Structure 1
Amino acid sequence: MPRLGIHQDFLQDLIRLERPVQQKVVQTITKFEQTSHTGAHLEKLRDIRDERFKSIRIDHKYRGIVLVPQGGDTFTLLRVDTHDEAYAWVRHRRASVNMVTGCMEIRDDAIIDDTIEGMTRTSSKSVRPIFEHVSDADLIRLGIDEQMLRFTRMLTDVAMLEALDGKLPQIQYDVLLGLAAGMSPEEVWNDVVGTTAAPEKIDPDDLIAATQRMSHKVALVEGPEELMELFAKPFAKWRVYLHPLQREAAYGSYTGTAQVTGGPGTGKTVVALHRARHLARQGGRVLLTTFTATLARSLAESLRLLETDDEVLGRIDVLTVDQVARRLVDEHVGKATLVREEEEKDIWRRIVRRRSLDLSERFLREEWRQVVLAQTITSADGYLQARRTGRGRRLGPLQRAQVWRAIDEFQQELADRNYRTFESTCVEAVRVLAELNARPYDHVIVDEAQDLHPVRWRVLRAAVAEGPNDLFIASDTHQRIYDNRVSLNSIGIRLTGRSTRVRINYRTTEEILNWSCAMLAGEKIDDLDGRPSSLIGCRSEVHGARPDLYGAPTKNAELAHLVEILRGWLAAGVDPEEIGVAARSETMGHSAADALIRAGIDASYLSRDRDGLDGHVRVTTMHRMKGLEFRCVAVIGVSASQLPAANAVTPLDEDATTHANDVQRERCLLFVAATRARERLHVSWHGEPSAFLNLASD
């Protein structure tokens, strides 16, 4: 029976096609599966470099490009596009087999040859090739073939390499990009090539075997039923679709704590969901956790899409870390009043006034959180000797003594009034867990881990016994939007040799991703072990429209334009719940929701305690967009007066280091909001635009 390999690029093509065309594609492929053993439905192409490429008719406007190896009955669908675009794509492309990975590669032969010829004509001995420090032997060992070796040896500008993304064989492109970024050949082997290297002897002419090795890029299906199961997924189910590249991370067995890292849209949350189900199906008690209640509700909803067995679901708790801590403390210690943020600030302000301190309530509060709680300091001597890494304002011994007395007074007031903050609840929960005879969970899975404070990490470390598959962490520190910085090593969580990095963005178009990443260019961001983290290599393989930027003179004019943008999306067939609107402030968000409702567009505001209504556009703050995704996103109010938000940034003269961290966090917040979009992104402001937008447009 014929087998049809569905290439990952086609999956992305299908998502961006309009729904009537999607249905025709599925019908065409189903018919092909049933009758293609004779080659029916496949059309020979003229004036192409590789005769193994054939076309398949979708309708009068659209065509698919299929790779048909000689012999065998395995076909691979590579591309779906309009007639002219599909033929333009295939005209100069050629399929080959990488002699290291054993996988099929597709390259634009004409572009590579023309580039080599152009560099030969303009070569200058005064300009040094960027890869002259890498030997031919190392390049060949990393899978660079003869044609690409000629290209590599002449390359003098990394910008030219980046401009050819999508034209070069993908693994070879990743190898060169890694070397250009300063990675050693050994690091490139471990990070890029080693996971896909073929153990057996490779036949350079056997494309069928090459395709079968590509579990990370090609999903092989048998028959129309399996095909329909793969494609007949509503938008919501794409949120939990596990791509083959992510499968090893989700279903692997680890000797200890493991993590998956990657940029936005690379599927880290999907990996976490599948891992939770996998471990629960094996009988384990699983905690699937994150930072905010909004994210926890989204995880629970996605988990129900993924798993329907109530017995399996009953073994998975989907809770925030704060919810876990509060349950433990309420049960074993007793209930207390939870102090909300504004009331906590009032307590600090009163202490500052009573003690006539030359320090702000914000400084004291962060000193308590980032130094005292982060390092579990319990005495004045401990605080006098504490490291204050990341705290820009220096404190002498006398000042430290004053600060400690203020902190001690704050903690005493909490105890006297039977108050707890979220953080102090976590501290108490760690004590409770240490006294229990057994841990409450067999496995803990952490999503959006970059936003957790050290006290929350200690709760998680104490909630599961140390051992195989104990903790599984999904994180991206470029999406850190709360002021929580931590080194996992300092908490006793070690990841050596058990980290997987995913690079392919399955959500966002290349145009949206590139625009968003520009906002973080030059920012120094560390991972959870304190090492530099980079977005280099993070890419999308689906293309679409560039982000739409709009500046308005007034707030009302901006909201009126927002109404028109959303009407256009809805008219194009986008469902209301597939549209998200993000604002920096709740005030702007509520104004947007009201404007949409007045215009006859169903919209609901997503808050801490309220989910969006079915059939409604979701409007919320940038913070609450975290972990969500939509086909279309409008980010509004990106004005200089709102981003960065003045009340979220420490004054420069108070603490320069904290000020810089706060500004970086605001930049990351816009990055997060923008990368929630799959297909279309609209960014608007009124008055003067945010400086972040100027950076993103350079």
Structure 2
Amino acid sequence: MKIPSLLDLDIEQQAVISLPFHGSHVITGEPGAGKTVMAVYRAWALATAGRQVVLLTYSNLLHQYLAQMAPDLTEALNVTTYHLWIKDFWRRHFRTDPPWIDEDGWIYDWSEMQRDCVLQRVGATMHLVIDEGQTLPVAFYQLCRILGVDVTVCADENQQIDDDQSTVSEICQALGIRGDPLVLHENRRNSREIAMLASEFRETAGSEIPLPTRLGCTPTVLKVPSLGYLLTGVSQYFNAHPGRSIGIICRSTRLMRDIQSELTRLGLAQHTQAYVHGDRYRDAVDFSTRPIRIVSAASMKGLEFDTVFVPDLDAYTEDPTSVDARLRFYVLCTRAREDLHFAHRGPQEPAILSSIPESLLVRHAG
């Protein structure tokens, strides 16, 4: 990410930094509006004012992204994930792990946690700044209110692609916020063509959303004979655009590993890295190097790339009219700044894109 300098922030972005340093606040906006940038700047401003600040997000990959995107702004912050923060907080106050209701320890018993905090009169004075706040459950925000923790939440409920998530109104209600959230209106990431395609999948398509003025290339759909054929094209694209970051977004871990192996065979090992949750060889990403990054659809929220390739359009077989499918593609499209390429094998284009107008997609056969 090319984070703007403080002097380059516009009026609505400056309004985020100027929010009161006490109390809870919600910031919302479309993908590309700069919510992640403002989460970092908001945390930096709070730390500069002497507040104890924790900058957190749901996914480990986005946590790494936030920590690396502006080291001069985040060096004084505790940048962590939602799960790590909860577990650390609970162990410090109760000398045990937080109670959970699933076998793997990812779904917490919020009622018991809230009751324990009330009975033990546990509180906290730090300020939490949360990016992609819609991915966290409402009960977490209710716990923050019980603890007396100030929270700044950057959230977009149109980017809900998992279960147990929160709407903006639910977050405001849980935190006791009265009044409207602060809205970032401008799309600062996508080209006009990418934003127009993404708008086809937005659930509130009838509302007026200003399109970016920056023009770019029309997104493409490629019918390819094989994965190797596509990745040869990715290699050629990289050689022609060495200054661009490339995101290859996959639905399966197996495909991610296959792509990394094939790009290595094509001589791009030193330029390629993959993130696979739970894989100790692929659990860290250096966003300052290796511009070809292979990530999963489950980890893509909050990230952005100059160019995005979706190599497995065939894997999106769910009902194309379902809310989940549409929101997933809405998020997927908006990861790309300049170029967006979908690829599928077989004669039939997957239904999720088949109804998109010809003016919004260029279709090629390999």
Shorter-chain TM band: 0.7 to 0.9
CA displacement, residues 194-227 of structure 1 (integer Å, 9 cap, x when unaligned): xxxxxxxxxxxxxxxxxxxxxxxxxxxxxxxxxx
1:580 and 1:241 map into 2 onto residues whose CA distance is 29
Determine if the alignment matches structure 1 residue 252 to structure 2 residue 15: no
- On the 8 A contact 2:142/2:175 being kept in 1, the answer is no
CA displacement, residues 616-672 of structure 1 (integer Å, 9 cap, x when unaligned): 511011121211111111112011xx2146xxx9xxxxxxxxx98xx4223222221
Query: Counterpart in 2 of 1:611?
Result: 284
Change (3 A) 1:546 1:238: farther
The structure whose RCO (Cα within 8 Å, separation 6+) is larger is 2
Change (3 A) 1:277 1:303: same
Query: Counterpart in 1 of 2:108?
Result: 424
* Matched letter for residue 85 of structure 2: V
Query: Counterpart in 2 of 1:369?
Result: none
Change (3 A) 1:587 1:559: same
1:424 counterpart SS class: coil
Query: Counterpart in 1 of 2:139?
Result: 455
Query: Counterpart in 2 of 1:620?
Result: 295
- On the 8 A contact 2:256/2:274 being kept in 1, the answer is yes
Query: Counterpart in 1 of 2:186?
Result: 504
1:305 and 1:534 map into 2 onto residues whose CA distance is 41
Candidates 212, 216, 219, aligned match of 1:544: 216
Aligned residues: 346
1:434: Cα distance to partner? 3.0
2:157 and 2:228 map into 1 onto residues whose CA distance is 32
Determine if the alignment matches structure 1 residue 321 to structure 2 residue 321: no
2:250 and 2:327 map into 1 onto residues whose CA distance is 14
Determine if the alignment matches structure 1 residue 674 to structure 2 residue 358: no
2:72 and 2:342 map into 1 onto residues whose CA distance is 31
* Matched letter for residue 570 of structure 1: N
CA displacement, residues 85-129 of structure 1 (integer Å, 9 cap, x when unaligned): xxxxxxxxxxxxxxxxxxxxxxxxxxxxxxxxxxxxxxxxxxxxx
1:512: Cα distance to partner? 0.8
1:498: Cα distance to partner? 4.4
Question: What are the residue-to-residue correspondences of 1:188-587 with 2, within 5 Å?
Answer: 236-238=2-4, 243-245=9-11, 246-253=13-20, 256-307=23-74, 313=76, 316-335=77-96, 421-424=105-108, 426-435=110-119, 437=121, 439-465=123-149, 470-486=150-166, 487-488=169-170, 492-520=174-202, 523=203, 536-553=208-225, 557-575=226-244, 578-587=245-254
* Matched letter for residue 455 of structure 1: A
- On the 8 A contact 1:322/1:426 being kept in 2, the answer is no
* Matched letter for residue 198 of structure 2: S
Query: Counterpart in 2 of 1:589?
Result: 256
2:23 and 2:180 map into 1 onto residues whose CA distance is 8
2:200 counterpart SS class: helix
Change (3 A) 1:485 1:612: closer
Query: Counterpart in 1 of 2:349?
Result: 689
1:597 and 1:423 map into 2 onto residues whose CA distance is 38
1:256: Cα distance to partner? 3.8
RMSD across aligned positions (CA): 3.1
Question: What are the residue-to-residue correspondences of 1:116-135 with 2, within 5 Å?
Answer: none
1:305: Cα distance to partner? 4.3
Query: Counterpart in 2 of 1:140?
Result: none
1:667 counterpart SS class: helix
Identical positions, percent: 23
1:580: Cα distance to partner? 0.8
2:249 and 2:33 map into 1 onto residues whose CA distance is 21
CA displacement, residues 250-304 of structure 1 (integer Å, 9 cap, x when unaligned): 2222774322211111101111111101011111111222211211221122242
Change (3 A) 1:685 1:621: same
- On the 8 A contact 1:453/1:484 being kept in 2, the answer is yes
* Matched letter for residue 638 of structure 1: L
1:689 counterpart SS class: coil
Question: What are the residue-to-residue correspondences of 1:32-111 with 2, within 5 Å?
Answer: none
- On the 8 A contact 1:519/1:692 being kept in 2, the answer is no
* Matched letter for residue 643 of structure 1: Y
Gaps of 5+ in 2: 359-366
Query: Counterpart in 2 of 1:600?
Result: 267
CA displacement, residues 356-385 of structure 1 (integer Å, 9 cap, x when unaligned): xxxxxxxxxxxxxxxxxxxxxxxxxxxxxx
Change (3 A) 1:255 1:329: closer
1:421: Cα distance to partner? 2.7
2:61 and 2:266 map into 1 onto residues whose CA distance is 27
2:139 counterpart SS class: helix
Change (3 A) 1:534 1:257: farther
1:267 and 1:490 map into 2 onto residues whose CA distance is 20
- On the 8 A contact 2:138/2:174 being kept in 1, the answer is no
TM-score, normalised on structure 2?
A: 0.83
1:319: Cα distance to partner? 2.2
Determine if the alignment matches structure 1 residue 633 to structure 2 residue 308: yes
1:491: Cα distance to partner? 5.3
2:32 and 2:121 map into 1 onto residues whose CA distance is 40
* Matched letter for residue 267 of structure 2: G
Change (3 A) 1:545 1:458: same
Gaps of 5+ in 1: 1-234, 340-410, 525-532, 650-658
Change (3 A) 1:611 1:242: farther
